[in-house]
Amino acid sequence: MSQLWSQFEKDARSSYRLYSAGLDSLEVERSRFRRGRQIAKSLFWAILEKLTPARRVLVLLGLILLFFPSASSSYADHTGHVDIHEFDLHVYGGLLLFVALLLELADRVVMKRDLEIAKDIQAWLLPGAPLQIPGYKIAYATRPANTVAGDYYDVILRPGSQNHSPNNTTNNNNEDRVLFVVADVAGKSIPAAMLMATFQASLRTLSRSGIALADLVDGVNHYACSNSQGGVRFTTAFFAELDAETGDVVYLNAGHNAPILRKKSGLVQRIDAGGIPVGIFAESPYQTGQTRLESGDWLVIFTDGLVEAVNQKDEEYGEAALLRFVDRESESTPAELLRNLLAELDRYVGNTPQHDDITCLLLKRG
């Protein structure tokens, strides 16, 4: 029963957030009664606005009949017997509301089926079992806020650099590299998921070549700019290219949350060299940075949905809490840490609906 109530509370909060958009702009009434009536009225019209015109008529007519008094008529035959017939308009009002509900449910079922197909396709685009890299352990997971997500992560084995960028003088041999990518498309649900698919396609295509990381990101940016609706649909992304033998990491942060590099000693570094998000300006310059993973070091890459998850008091989880958690769990494996992190996040948010996609990729050496 408690689980059922928890699900109902979460659905109710999510629905209220959908329909209450714009209520903050209402003038605040001093009287609690007047304010309650004002909010109820605004919610009612917000719900009606999301219906088709025909269904609005059905709902309004149904509500009118529900509150309309029942009608009655009388008829006297030749013997003087009087028959009284009552017309219960409430029944017809309920039937009209039920018809409107059935029409909405039919749309939802069709949309849900299409979304489930899109979810399966999106899962196919993401990597399956973690790539096995001797001396390293990897774990990753994503939680969409809706059925499909705008977050993306990938681990790609690519050939070493052949054409060198002035920004990347360290990547100067032909050894294979492992490319780690975490990205977050602006927005959520279907539009973001579609752009995520185009981002993945361009990244996978360019990563097959031996070009340097800065050139790869430049190519992804040019492609994203042609599909970003004038920069409206941009993508933040973090790219890291690992030389597994030496632990050297060449990285580029395109407007993404700065990942955490936690050294075995406990020292924390933030990785932010790069440039603006991809998809805004085609000629944007990108600068790579370099670091090194030693034995016992952690690389924690995440999207803003993780640190901006809120509880019932509207308090964010925050990066400070994430850092403390990684410190406590630093002796764990990435798979264990990730599982425990998501469990802690669930306890923190409680029944608060998830408002953004959550993605985390963990890499540990040794």
Identify the burial level of 70 via C-beta atoms within 10 angstroms of its C-beta, where 0-12 means exposed, 13-18 middle and 19 or more buried: exposed
Task: Tell me, letter by letter, the H, E, C secondary structure of 150-193.
Answer: CEEEEEEEECCCCECCCCCCCCCCCCCEEEEEEEEECCCHHHHH
How many structural domains comprise the chain? Answer: 1
pTM: 0.73
Residue 311 within a domain: yes
Report yes or no: 290 and 251 within 8 Å, Cβ to Cβ: yes
* Cα–Cα distance, 243 to 16 (Å, whole number): 49
Neighbours of 237 (CB within 10 A): 27
Q: Compute the distance between CA of residue 319 and CA of residue 238 in angstroms, rounded to an integer.
A: 17
Q: Please identify every stretch of the chain with a pLDDT value under 70, giving residue numbers as ranges.
A: 1-32, 35, 69-87, 160-175, 228-231
Which DSSP string corresponds to 267-308? -EEE---EESPBTS-TT-----EEEEPPTT-EEEEE-HHHHT
Residue by residue, DSSP assigns 94-126 as: HHHHHHHHHHHHHHHHHHHHHHHHHHHHHHHHS
- Note the pLDDT of residue 146: 83
**The predicted structure's pLDDT at residue 326:** 95
Instruction: Tell me if 289 is assigned to some domain.
Output: yes
Q: Is residue 105 situated within a structural domain?
A: no
Residue 50 lies in a domain: no
Flag whether 245 is in a domain: yes
What does the alpha-carbon distance between residue 244 and residue 178 come to, in Å, rounded to a whole number? 7
Q: How far apart are the first and last CA of the chain?
A: 45
Asked, for residue 351, whether it belongs to a domain, the answer is yes
Q: Is 128 exposed, middle or buried (0-12, 13-18, 19+ CB in 10 A)?
A: exposed
**Residues found in the chain:** 366
Q: Which residues span the domain enclosing 240? A: 129-365
| 313 within a domain of the structure (yes/no) | yes
Count CB-CB contacts under 10 A for residue 357.
27
Position 79 scores a pLDDT of 64
Would residue 34 count as lying in a domain?
no
Instruction: Measure CA 194 to chain center.
Output: 13
Beta-ladder partners of 86: 72
Residue 294: CATH number of its domain: 3.60.40.10
Instruction: State residue 362's pLDDT score.
Output: 97
